[in-house]
A and B are shown apart, each in its own frame.
Chain A
Amino acid sequence: MKTIIIVCIPPLICLLTVIIFYKKLQPKWLRLFLYLLVFILAAEIGSGLYSQYTKKSNHFIINIYLPVSFSFYFFIFFKTFETKKFKIITYTAFILYLLFCVYDIMFIEGFYYFNTYSYCLGCILIVMCCLLYFMRLFTSDMLMNYFTTPMFWITTGLLFFFAGSLVEMSLLKYMISNHLDPEGKIYQFIMVTLNILLYGAFTISFLCNHKWKKAS
């Protein structure tokens, strides 16, 4: 129960921020985070409670939850990129990820085991999108303040989260099968830290918009 609470606090704070500032969120697609965060919280709480009360693996819930959240992140990059080239890259990455998810479930790891391969591929592709976004910022000839740009914070959170979780997740299966982290403390430490970074960055992105801050 304690773990569920710890894991849920950062997205809960983030969700409350979205609810409070819902009408003022700009660009408007930021409002979609409300649905994502409700979904994430439902999945986190649901999977935690399921495993606690049934003493069974909750990986199948995670296998549903991850493709949805990854798809959402691909969607926001797709909305953010203005050039056709970057949009095509994002779209291709999204299709590639989805196809691999299906392949992983059907032929490699199955539906009831955590799909580490598709998670790692998703991580790499999202990190690639983050780098594309930063490249766009780097080459931009416009006068801009990163700290008042919501997408800068979202991308920062995603980069830290997915770059940070890549090593742990890619070795997760090996660590579980060899009982290297039997109580899951290392896993919890890394994931809670990264969760705080991710949802902290998301929360800042909802609060940083200079225009409405001035207007309110």
Chain B
Amino acid sequence: MEKSQLIIAVLFATAVLLLLAFFLLFFLVRYRTRSNQYISERENLQKEFEQILMQSQIEVQENTFAALSMELHDNIGQLLVSAKALIGVTQYNMPSPPETLNVAGETLGKAISELRSLSKLLDKEWLQQFDFIANLQAEVKRINAMQTLQVSFSHPEKLLLQPEEQIILFRIVQEAIQNSIKHSQAQQIDINVSHSVASLIVSIIDNGKGFEKDVMMSAGLGLKNMKHRTQLMGGTIEWKSSPGNGSAVMLKLPVKKSEQ
């Protein structure tokens, strides 16, 4: 082989190897672009499916609540009203009714009032007539009236959320309050709602016994529902707690420009 031929062969072989490397990269990048597109579409579909699933789960739950509200109001409520009427008649017919009967009558009156409040809170149609702040104020008033614990609620004048979003938020806060009452033995719950630049910040803080993070991880349906509901609105939810130091639920929801 001549000198120049060998040099050409070396240059040619080097160029071929470089070209091969270039084509390999070109093919890889091209494939990845398509693959990224496919993965992105798949993830979007998955997200969409999860949202639809969550939406239908919430709808089923709302319908169950509505049915329960109707049952409380029309059936149990009526039975209690009848019982109170009977007590009233008995009180009227007795010359000196015993004190226990008077107390029973008052207790029954309170029970009817509580039942009506509860029935209203479960009724979706009723909720849609009022805004989140009014609903939560009513709920806070109802809990404070029980005198087992004190709930404070600070809020802006108006909430920048759609009515259906306000219902979802209300259910989340309701669940958080119920958790504090049932599990933490709290004496005080502070609910704070405020607006930041493009989001709504909600915090529910109690002074209860708190919990370990592991307990939280193995939590039941309630916390999962809270998480799902928050995700449905495109927000984030975070729990902060440690044994003996109470617990805090921090919610951050996006506020759309049209709502601002």
Contact = CB atoms under 8 A, between A and B. Distances in A.
A156 interface: yes
Interface string A142-161: 11111000000000100110
Contacts of B18: 160, 163-164
A20 interface: no
A107 interface: no
A190 interface: yes
Interface in A156-187: 156, 159-160, 163-168, 171, 175, 178, 180-181, 186
Contacts of A166: 17
A112 interface: no
Contacts of B10: 167-168, 171, 175, 186, 190
A160 B24 CA distance: 11
A138 interface: yes
B14 A190 contact: yes
B46 to A, nearest CB: 12
B212 interface: no
A82 interface: no
B219 interface: no
B21 A163 contact: yes
A134 interface: yes
Nearest to B39: A143
Contacts of B11: 186, 190
Given A143-B43, A186-B7, A186-B11, A163 B20 contact: yes
Contacts of B25: 134, 156, 159
Contact of B21 (A144, A159, A181): A159
Interface in A61-96: none
Interface string B176-206: 0000000000000000000000000000000
B3 A167 contact: no
A134 B6 contact: no
Contacts of A165: 14
B32 A137 contact: yes
Nearest to A130: B21
Task: Place the interface of chain B in its size category.
Answer: 20 to 34
A164 B28 contact: no
Q: Could you tell me the dominant secondary structure of chain A's interface residues?
A: helix
A146 B7 contact: no
Given A143-B36, A143-B40, A180-B6, A164 B14 contact: yes
A163 B17 contact: yes
A165 B168 CA distance: 65
A164 B36 contact: no
A190 B17 CA distance: 13
Nearest to A147: B29
A142 B39 contact: yes
Contacts of A167: 10, 13-14, 17
A41 to B, nearest CB: 25
A165 B31 CA distance: 27
Contact of A137 (B6, B22, B28, B43): B28
Nearest to A145: B36
Interface of B: 3, 6-7, 10-11, 13-14, 17-18, 20-22, 24-25, 28-29, 31-32, 36, 39-40, 43
30 contacts: A134-B24, A137-B28, A138-B31, A142-B39, A143-B39, A143-B40, A143-B43, A146-B29, A159-B21, A159-B24, A159-B25, A160-B18, A160-B21, A163-B18, A163-B20, A163-B21, A164-B14, A164-B17, A164-B18, A164-B21, A167-B13, A167-B17, A168-B10, A168-B14, A171-B10, A180-B6, A180-B7, A186-B10, A190-B11, A190-B14
Given A134-B24, A171-B6, 4 more contacts: A137-B28, A159-B21, A163-B20, A175-B6
